[in-house]
Amino acid sequence: MSHLIVKPSKQSHHEGSLLTVTPQSAGWTYVGFETLKLQAGAKLRRDTLEQEVCLVLLSGKANVATNKEAWNEIGNRMNVFEKIPPFSVYVSNDDFYVVEALTELELAVCSAPGKGTYPARLITPEQVGVEVRGQGNVERLIHNILPEGEAADSLLVVEVYTPQGHWSSYPPHKHDQDALPDESLLEETYYFRVQPEQGFAIQRVYTDDRSLDETLAVQDGEVVMVPRGYHPVSAPPGYDVYYLNVMAGPTRTWKFRNDPDHAWLMK
């Protein structure tokens, strides 16, 4: 079993948690990630402490409140593969959030260090940038939930849909050097969903010197941690692949370097 894969528990733990990545468990500094499944009527209350948080309603409907704000009956999809942008809520550090599930709710909690710069806000589907990236068998659908053009201290959050037989995060690229303006240092998690759910995705994570070189078969509901290196993804024939990316590092900008072996593909 790869040390880069985090598997969900069969039964949800305390507060509905299925899977948790912390900087401590990942052995890095910035990115935290958690998925939860809440039954209708269940409530979740958390203090953000030093972390800013982006709550992504993967599926289901909920009421969400923070210290100064409240949004009722948000949520617009019952399955991530409906391929419509989600509702999300940004919450600053030194705040709290209360989530009340109105239906069965799948929730992603994305976190990174906060500086208290921005107040809590709702991110509606209409505010999510939608783009198709690539062409042919590298075409994929992107939902920019919290891109660098939108306010946050550390977090970058994006959804990607890779159709069956296609590749994404391709050509292979990396962002593991604090070498701006050419490359930024960003830790990253990939939360995968696969349809039909008995399928799998393939992700390779590797460095130039191959000191890290792993090829992973990723199941529905699992997380891959990308501490460094290139990290392309493939969706096998017959299986559509979704992933939610969370990135954060010392500077909130996404500057990547393509693998020079495959840079010719960009031409």
- pLDDT tens track for 118-135: 999 999 999 999 999 999
Alpha carbon separation from 194 to 3, 241, 242 (Å, rounded): 21, 5, 6
Q: Report whether 171 contacts 262 (CB < 8 A).
A: yes
- Summarize the confidence of residues 194-216 as an average pLDDT: 98
> For position 58, what pLDDT does the model report?
98
74 pLDDT tier (thresholds 50, 70, 90): very high
> For position 2, what pLDDT does the model report?
84
> For position 96, what pLDDT does the model report?
98
Q: Report whether 80 contacts 19 (CB < 8 A).
A: no
Statement: residue 1 has pLDDT above 80: no
At 39, the amino acid letter reads Q
Statement: residue 175 has pLDDT above 80: yes
> For position 11, what pLDDT does the model report?
75
- Summarize the confidence of residues 199-213 as an average pLDDT: 98
* Pair type for strands 240-248 and 167-168: unpaired
Statement: residue 42 has pLDDT above 90: yes
Statement: residue 32 has pLDDT above 70: yes
Domain at 5-265: CATH code: 2.60.120.10
CA distance 192 to 245: 9
Q: Report whether 97 contacts 53 (CB < 8 A).
A: yes
